[in-house]
Homo-oligomer: A and B are copies of this chain.
Amino acid sequence: MQRTLVAETLKKVGETVTLKGWVDTVRDHGKITFLDLRDRTGIIQCVGNGLEAVSLESVIELSGKVVERPEKLINPNIVTGKVELQIEGMKVVSKAEEMPFDMNKEDLNLELPTLLDYRSLTLRHPKIKAIFKVQEVVIDAFRRALQAKDFTEFQAPSIISSAPEGGAEIFEVKYFDHTAYLAQSPQLYKSLLVSIFERVFSVNKVFRAEPSVTTRHLTEIVSLDAEFGFIEDYLEVKEMAEYVIKFILDEVSRKCAKELEMWGATIPAVSKSIPIIKLREAQEIIFKRTGRDCRKEKDFSPEDEREICKWSKEEHGSDLVFVSHYPTKYRPFYTYPDPDEPEFNQGFDLIGRGTEWMTGGRRIHDYKTLLAHAKEWGITPKNIELYLQAFRYGMPSLGGFAFGAERITMHILGLKNVREASLFPRDMERVDIRLSTIEEISANEK
């Protein structure tokens, strides 16, 4: 019989239907069994008489009649709360093993290693699943925001032939008889593509071999990248970045109300125009507000990030704030030095809730300047030949921005660890299963 989805039962009162899904909960009351069935559209209470025992999370098919519940038994917490299914037949499609922990709690409250050791099971929990609904909306909104502005989507390469920005924190790939690397960013590709398409974006994997286990680092990240040409100045890049972030936050707010509520999360407040401030000005403000003197530092400390966000909220009503003009020599070779103060450049970070959300800025488009910078930064021009080629044959002024899908999901929902915002997080110690376990398996096989 054709499957009826759980959410469709509301329109099928009085009809006999077949539902298919997972056993979410079972409450035995002697002869009568209450069984909650879950599918991708929701949960429905099903009532059976003399039902055979079935383990939680098993996949079953239930046939029966949809009936209205008496007024006083309506459950406002589930979409189908006004109805229930009177079970007439049950078929077990796939019997689940006994649960290793209680899946029926509002919060799983598992330690991270357990959460990840049982990833295929823990992802079923509504609150965990909610994280990836938010992430899906973020990524889709990113694409649609830029499509609306005439950006072309491209697929950035993952395997690269050299480590253009230095060999640290880059993964090596055995590439036939050669050594290749995994891309840390699509930066050079998105820039060169500006000379082809003017405006480009991509959603793609980047890889960071950071030898540290922190709550903020993954070795494999989904990077959301945009770059565009014919800009007047770096503020035009800031405007585009701001438009994209606002578009994303609006979409999450509109489509993920339930998910935000589950996490007790609120969308950050943003002012009509998100403030932008130079690093040195920001440091001066922090000094005045706290007496802490960071005015000669090349970057913010986490403490500074929190303080400048406080300032932004108090003075501008914005949880998000752009900080620009970092010292030129500490940023990548392609960042555009400010003509009026070349020791600082027109790159910027977007800081929100005390941490970095996004990075971007204007890039150098003049071939000679770019080449000189590349050499000064210790890069072998031949290694970035395709990139430089684009600039030799006519490149407009350009800029762009990038941010990680996992981090923005973490920031929006207030997650404690970025690993929670990746379906299958990879780090120094784990690639699905713990790497120490893999060593053991491999040793046993030999």
Interface membership of A139, Cβ < 8 A: yes
Once the chains bind, are A155 and B441 in contact (CB under 8 Å)? no
15 A-B pairs with C-beta separation under 8 A = A94-B367, A94-B391, A94-B396, A96-B394, A119-B389, A120-B192, A157-B432, A158-B207, A159-B426, A160-B431, A160-B432, A161-B435, A162-B441, A173-B174, A173-B182
Interface membership of A262, Cβ < 8 A: no
A155 partner, pick from B119, B193, B423, beta carbons under 8 A: B423
Most buried by B among A57, A207, A431: A431
Interface membership of A433, Cβ < 8 A: yes
Segment of A105-113, A195-203, A240-248, A250-258 in the binding face: A195-203
Segment of A68-76, A121-129, A271-279, A326-334 in the binding face: A121-129
Once the chains bind, are B180 and A20 in contact (CB under 8 Å)? no
Tell me the bound Cα distance from A174 to B207 in angstroms: 12
Contact A57 B393, CB 8 Å, known A132-B154, A438-B161? yes
Known: A96-B393, A124-B195, A175-B209; 19 extra A-B contacts, CB below 8 A, are: A20-B396, A40-B197, A40-B198, A57-B393, A59-B395, A94-B394, A96-B394, A97-B393, A120-B192, A123-B196, A124-B196, A140-B153, A154-B423, A157-B432, A161-B431, A161-B438, A175-B431, A175-B435, A383-B438
A390 partner, pick from B120, B391, B394, B395, beta carbons under 8 A: B120
The closest CB in chain B to the CB of A445 belongs to B380
Q: 1/0 per residue A142-184: CB within 8 Å of B? A: 0000000010111101111110000000011111101010100
Shortest C-beta distance, A427 to chain B (Å), equals 10
- In chain A, residues 78-135, which have Cβ atoms closer than 8 Å to a Cβ of chain B? 93-97, 99, 118-121, 123-124, 129, 132-133, 135
Once the chains bind, are A230 and B424 in contact (CB under 8 Å)? no
Q: 1/0 per residue A419-446: CB within 8 Å of B? A: 0000110101001110101110100010
- Tally of A interface residues using CB under 8 Å: 98
Residues of A with Cβ closer than 8 Å to B? 3, 20, 22-23, 39-40, 57-59, 93-97, 99, 118-121, 123-124, 129, 132-133, 135-136, 139-140, 150, 152-155, 157-162, 171-176, 178, 180, 182, 189, 192-193, 195-199, 203-205, 207, 209, 211, 219-220, 222, 230, 365-367, 380, 382-383, 385-387, 389-397, 405, 423-424, 426, 428, 431-433, 435, 437-439, 441, 445
Once the chains bind, are A157 and B426 in contact (CB under 8 Å)? yes
Shortest C-beta distance, A334 to chain B (Å), equals 15
Q: Which B residues lie within 8 Å of A219 (CB)?
A: 159, 175
Once the chains bind, are B198 and A385 in contact (CB under 8 Å)? no
Q: Which B residues lie within 8 Å of A211 (CB)?
A: 176
Once the chains bind, are A396 and B445 in contact (CB under 8 Å)? no
Tell me the bound Cα distance from A59 to B132 in angstroms: 43
The closest CB in chain B to the CB of A390 belongs to B120
